[in-house]
Amino acid sequence: MSGDLSFDAVMARRGQITQRAIGIDYAEFEQSPIAFDYEGLMQKSGYSLEEVQEIQKLTQVGNTPLVELRNVTRLVRKVSRPGKGARIFIKDEASNPSGSFKDRRASVSIYRAKQLGYPGTACASSGNYAAAVASQSAKWGLKCIIVQEVFDSRGLGQPEIVEKGRACEAYGAEVWQLTVGPELFYTFLRLLEETGYFSASLYTPFAIAGVETLGYEIGRQMLEREGRAPDAVVVTHAGGGNVTGTARGLHKAGCTDTQIIGASVDLRGLHMASDHDFNRKSFTTGHTGYGVPFATFPDRADVPRNAARALRYLDRYVLISQGETFFATEMLAQLEGMERGPAGNTSLAAAFCVAREMDRDQIVVVQETEYTGAGKHPSAQLTFARQNGVEIRRGDPADNKPGVAIVIPEHPAQMSVEEMDLDAVRRSYVKHALQRAGEYRLSAADWRFLAEDCGSSVDFVRRAVDALCNA
Amino acid sequence: MRMAKAGEWVQIHNVLLTARERAVHVPADTRQVPFEMWLKGFLVDDAVQIGDEVTIATVTGRHVTGKLVAINPAYPHSFGEPVPELLAIGRELRALIAEEDSA
């Protein structure tokens, strides 16, 4: 064990702590300072789809209903041009044991921890994944520690995160509640070192393999029910695991032409590690503060190589405002009788806009819902926002300003997504990859890796590199 | 002030890093404040009061020390207040769909 518990000393031991706590030797998959064997990592350290299905059956995860939102579709058509307005379906992931799709991700991680004989599990998450890890750990009889970023320096906690702490405690986890800052990771490493617990990272190959069943089920359920693949699936995008796992699962179900659309809540302009900005956000997940940095530099994660690589799979990436997401949450409750948590409805709000552009005979699937409750509810989150000086009003959602004003649409026809320029995101990805590689000279295999990893061509990557060199 | 007894469910607080010890890359406003933690568990010490340095046994059975800040801490979150900007939406959307039906 270690003597020096200072910030710098613990961070310097990061590699060895992580390797022991995850049980994967990532060096085996490294090919160069740029490239690694992604599929090799997924196959050797992950589980097959059939194995994941078996593991998830053991803890009642998955096989959630795919529900057609008939009234929402009627509303979409009401505000669409003639012949437009696709049918909308939603995958009711709130019916998983801890209330979100994150149970899929946790189920495989915690199964793995149990198989490898770890005495407990630990997870750094302020969101649904924390509850999922706590719930799965309870099912497998493992002790569990959750580390959460909860409070600003005034001791004020985001209601959504306070609720998540309660849920974790309800599942028998020890919950560390911290103030804002990236030093959360330092605390997490110290706890891993001290306890010898398994690190239930969101970004391991087994966590991502757990999400593949979600895409697979959507594909199979749609084929059985409608005899065809969905035209588009809208996925709430944050760290990239939801997009990656869902897209891989859809491919495995044979839905190779289904468009994968990522959707994030627009929180651009708010600094994620700022004590002041922390409580001016009304969403703690599914937003651009994760979505953009994790797409442009996936290996910023808590593992050496992130198995969640959104750019490989995204066909489109759209942004929606906080006000429109709260509007969609109200719409789902009032028109469909489904009261679900707001953050998960990011993809519903985006799908509403996407469906308006699509033909009536087309199908769009909203890929998740999540549970709702005290704290994690539009009225709780908007009350908190108002108390923290954020203006709440009805109006044109184009006037939303993250941290300043949440504008709830006056009419569904005002709902619209902002298109993110995926090529710009890809260029930013290339820039990060080159920075990480330093002076290293790229081989032909590296160029191919970069092209695959950003979902583009070698020509595109070459042009991006030329532009960087000339800048 | 009420004394807490051994075995009671309590909450402790610690400063993990002072403002000066914080990571160099954190935003300026965050670097001005300490990095703090709160944790709950069963009180190991007996006859202590708020503000005392105490030891707790967490639910994983580990012992952690810190300043006692709450005895039997409540969850502060709720559903908040009704939000007028949301209350109108259900009626409006139902009316829109009804319009479509009668058209």
Instruction: Going from the first residue of chain A to its last (471 residues), give the mean pLDDT of each consecutive group of 10, the final group possibly shorter.
Output: 83 93 94 96 89 97 98 97 98 98 97 97 96 98 97 92 97 98 95 98 95 98 97 96 97 98 92 85 80 92 94 97 97 98 95 98 98 96 94 97 95 97 97 92 96 97 92 77
Of the residues A383, A391, A411, A414, the best mutation for testing chain B's interface (the one with the most B CB atoms within 10 Å of its CB) is A383
Regarding whether A237 and A158 lie in a shared domain, the answer is no
Total residue length of chain A: 471
Spatial contact of A38 and A453, defined as CB atoms under 8 Å apart: yes
- Which pLDDT value is given to residue A46? 77
Six-digit token string for A269: 């302009």
Residue A374 lies in a domain: yes
SS3 assignment, position A395: strand
Regarding whether A267 and A318 lie in a shared domain, the answer is yes
**Per-residue pLDDT band at B5 (split at 50, 70, 90):** very high
CA A172, distance to chain mean position in Å, is: 24
Regarding whether A262 and A132 lie in a shared domain, the answer is no
- Which pLDDT value is given to residue B101? 65
Residues of B in contact with A321 (CB under 8 A): none
Query: Tell me, what CATH number does A237's domain have?
Result: 3.40.50.1100
Regarding whether A293 and A155 lie in a shared domain, the answer is no
Q: Whole-angstrom Cα distance, residue A364 to residue A20?
A: 42
ipTM: 0.96
Q: Do B97 and A382 lie within an 8 Å CB cutoff?
A: no
- Final residue belonging to a domain, choices A170, A188, A204: A204
Name the residue ranges covered by the structural domains of chain B: 1-74
- Which pLDDT value is given to residue A44? 80
**pLDDT tens-place string over residues A41-56:** 999 877 999 999 999 9
Regarding whether A19 and A161 lie in a shared domain, the answer is yes
DSSP strand pairing (B9-17 vs B35-43): antiparallel
- Final residue belonging to a domain, choices A145, A177, A204: A204
Residues of A in contact with B63 (CB under 8 A): none
Regarding whether A113 and A146 lie in a shared domain, the answer is yes
Tokens 């549970």, residue located: A371
SS3 assignment, position A89: strand
- Final residue belonging to a domain, choices A204, A219, A239: A204
Q: Whole-angstrom Cα distance, residue A365 to residue A241?
A: 18
- Which pLDDT value is given to residue B2? 84
Q: Whole-angstrom Cα distance, residue A213 to residue A64?
A: 10
Q: Do B30 and A275 lie within an 8 Å CB cutoff?
A: yes
Rg of chain B taking only CA atoms, in angstroms:
24
Q: Whole-angstrom Cα distance, residue A417 to residue A353?
A: 6
Residue A217 lies in a domain: yes
- From the CA of B54, how many Å to the nearest CA of chain A? 17
Regarding whether A95 and A115 lie in a shared domain, the answer is no
**Per-residue pLDDT band at B73 (split at 50, 70, 90):** very high
Residue A2 lies in a domain: no
Regarding whether A92 and A35 lie in a shared domain, the answer is no
CA A330, distance to chain mean position in Å, is: 22
Residues of A in contact with B90 (CB under 8 A): 330, 333-335
CB–CB contacts below 8 A, A to B: 156
Regarding whether A164 and A306 lie in a shared domain, the answer is no
Provide the 10 A C-beta neighbour count for residue A418.
14
Residues of B in contact with A153 (CB under 8 A): 33-34, 36
What global pTM score does this model have? 0.96
Q: Do B27 and A178 lie within an 8 Å CB cutoff?
A: no
Six-digit token string for A321: 């405002």
Regarding whether A191 and A65 lie in a shared domain, the answer is no
Of the residues B11, B65, B86, B97, the best mutation for testing chain A's interface (the one with the most A CB atoms within 10 Å of its CB) is B86
Q: Whole-angstrom Cα distance, residue A323 to residue A328?
A: 9
* A364, β-bridge pairs: A88, A232
**pLDDT tens-place string over residues A132-167:** 999 999 999 999 999 999 999 999 998 999 999 999
**Per-residue pLDDT band at B100 (split at 50, 70, 90):** low
Q: Whole-angstrom Cα distance, residue A317 to residue B14?
A: 41
Regarding whether A305 and A216 lie in a shared domain, the answer is yes
Of the residues A8, A171, A382, the best mutation for testing chain B's interface (the one with the most B CB atoms within 10 Å of its CB) is A382
Q: Do A380 and B23 lie within an 8 Å CB cutoff?
A: no
Q: Do A151 and B93 lie within an 8 Å CB cutoff?
A: no
Q: Do A379 and B60 lie within an 8 Å CB cutoff?
A: no
Q: Residue A32 is part of which domain span? A: 7-55+100-204
- Give mean pLDDT, residues B64-91: 97
How would DSSP label each residue in A100-166?
STHHHHHHHHHHHHHHTT-SEEEEE-SSHHHHHHHHHHHHHT-EEEEEEEEE-TT--B-HHHHHHHH
Domain tally, chain A: 3
Regarding whether A118 and A73 lie in a shared domain, the answer is no
**Is residue A382 within a helix (H) or strand (E), and if so which, with residue range?**
helix A378-387
- Which pLDDT value is given to residue A284? 73
Within 8 A by CB and 6+ apart from A433, the residues are A34, A297, A450, A453
CATH of B1-74, one of 2.60.40, 2.30.30, 3.40.720, 3.90.930: 2.30.30
Spatial contact of B67 and B51, defined as CB atoms under 8 Å apart: yes
